[in-house]
A and B are shown apart, each in its own frame.
Chain A
Amino acid sequence: MVEFGGWDMPVEYTGIIDEHMAVRTAVGLFDVCHMGQIELAGADVLAAVQWMSSNDASRLAIGQIQYSALTTADGTFVDDILVYRMGEQHFMLVVNAGNIMKDHQWIVARVAERGGDVSVVNASSRYALIAVQGPQAERVVQALTDIDLAAIKYYWFDHGEVSGVRVTVSRTGYTGEDGFEVFAPPAQAERVWNALLEAGAPFGIKPCGLGARDTLRLEASMRLCGSDMDEGTSVVEAGLSWIVGWKKDAFLGAERLRAQKAGSLDRRLVGFEMRDRAIARHGHVVMDGDASVGMVTSGTQTPYLKKAIGLAMVPLALAEPGTSLIIDIRGRRVRAEVVPEPFYKRSQPA
């Protein structure tokens, strides 16, 4: 067990490789109750969300979700978030565990600055969150619910009952596989967890810990806020221009992000594969001659692709796929190569 964002969480149950492969080939179950939920509502809520986040929330229909960033005035990350449109004037932001208090205070302060009719509630203690991920996820969850899961498209959600418990179910996840995240009342979370384990048994379901969550997300090229980017990294530098609503009006950090898009960008997060036998990890330095020019932000040996991969922040001159990188690993210089992302993409999109 390790401490993570104030929660005691298992790194692994049956082993990281075992759990990782279960998600890629069958189905895995994740206790992600540590994730935070911040709800905003009111007549002016859309304008507030548009001002504080990088993506264009006006494009969301009720029941739809988008990946976005809560941005500083410099276009850097307060946090990366999922934005759920619960109603015409009601949004839910799913935020990282370690940032719940910071994000809540940030949002409250921005709302106070701008005024308008917007209420903000840190609803994190009202939701338990369980993720069911893998090619068999739909069959497992469908066995326990009348919600027509096949009708929920990727990055949409619905409400209903799972195992007799009132829940919200979204077709989302942090693994690169098809799957669902189930928001349940904490008092009934154990019942939902146990029901999913039982319903998943014929499909080979495995409970998965933080270790597999990290290898799965990295293999799928999904960023980890706090490791791959933070308040010193802009959304464009993180390689996430696709979560910037370029056509929307002014928002926090828009000026700098637009300038970077127009050509002022000088560094970027890239995916790499090791060419020498070694595993580069967070904090290892990217070298150009004797100068340190960049940093590895995530790295691991991935169980499914069976390669040592990672993400690194490098100068733009070293960012093109095919570029050789030299990484200092505990004093040893090893070779890596910039590769296109994502490292892994599932063959059957949801």
Chain B
Amino acid sequence: MYPTDLKYTIEHEWVRAEADEAAVGITDFAQKQLGDVVFVELPEVGRTLTKGEVFGTIESVKAVSELFSPVSGAVVAVNDALAAHPEGVNSRPHDTWMIKVKMANSSELDDLMNSARYDAFIA
């Protein structure tokens, strides 16, 4: 069962929204598919993202994947700790955020899956 306080995309990102700020990471399902994560490339603070836009890349030993922003808005923080410890994505995927976005339109969250639907989506 995936955490009920998160919302999920079909690209396997999660969003934790607090007021108009959205923290974004990737799901446990995604990290298992990737395997050992060795590198996460993130955007600069201040960059404006449109929902669905690529905001970075994540590399495991075996593959490279793009990261898609689940919401539109400006990047207000990036998780610099991932540079030294990318393996956090594997060990604590739902607590390891990558970027925080100040949402331009929080109703975009309504388009994302809740945990029950995401559970069914990956089943």
Contacting chain A: which of B54-62, B92-100, B109-117?
A: B54-62
Interface: A12 (CB within 8 A) = yes
Contact with B along A7-23 (1 / 0, CB 8 A): 00001100111000000
Q: Do A279 and B59 have beta carbons less than 8 Å apart?
A: yes
A contacts with B: majority SS: loop
Chain A interface residues (CB < 8 Å from chain B) = 11-12, 15-17, 211, 215, 277-279, 281, 300-301, 303, 308, 330
Residue of B39, B59, B61, B64 contacting most chain A CB atoms (<10 Å): B61
Q: Do A303 and B61 have beta carbons less than 8 Å apart?
A: yes
Task: Please provide the 3 A-B residue pairs with the shortest distance between their CB atoms, ordered closest to farther.
Answer: A301-B38, A16-B61, A17-B36
Q: Do B35 and A12 have beta carbons less than 8 Å apart?
A: yes
Q: Do B61 and A277 have beta carbons less than 8 Å apart?
A: no
Query: 8 A-B contacts, Cβ less than 8 Å apart?
Result: A15-B35, A16-B35, A16-B62, A17-B61, A215-B61, A279-B59, A301-B38, A301-B39
Interface size class of B (residues with CB under 8 A): 10 to 19
Q: A17 — which chain B residues lie within 8 A by C-beta? A: 36, 61
Interface: B45 (CB within 8 A) = no
A-contacting residues, B66-105, CB 8 Å: 83
Q: A308 — which chain B residues lie within 8 A by C-beta? A: 39
Residue of B41, B60, B62 contacting most chain A CB atoms (<10 Å): B62
Inter-chain CA distance A38–B12, complex, in Å, is 46
Inter-chain CA distance A301–B62, complex, in Å, is 9
Taking the nearest CB of chain A, how far is it from the CB of B29, in angstroms? Answer: 16
Knowing that A11-B62, A16-B61, A277-B83 are A-B contacts, what are 7 other residue pairs whose CB atoms are under 8 Å apart, sorted by A's residue number?
A: A15-B35, A16-B60, A278-B41, A281-B64, A301-B38, A301-B39, A301-B61
Q: Do B35 and A279 have beta carbons less than 8 Å apart?
A: no
Taking the nearest CB of chain B, how far is it from the CB of A39, in angstroms? Answer: 34
Inter-chain CA distance A17–B39, complex, in Å, is 14
Taking the nearest CB of chain B, how far is it from the CB of A9, in angstroms? Answer: 13
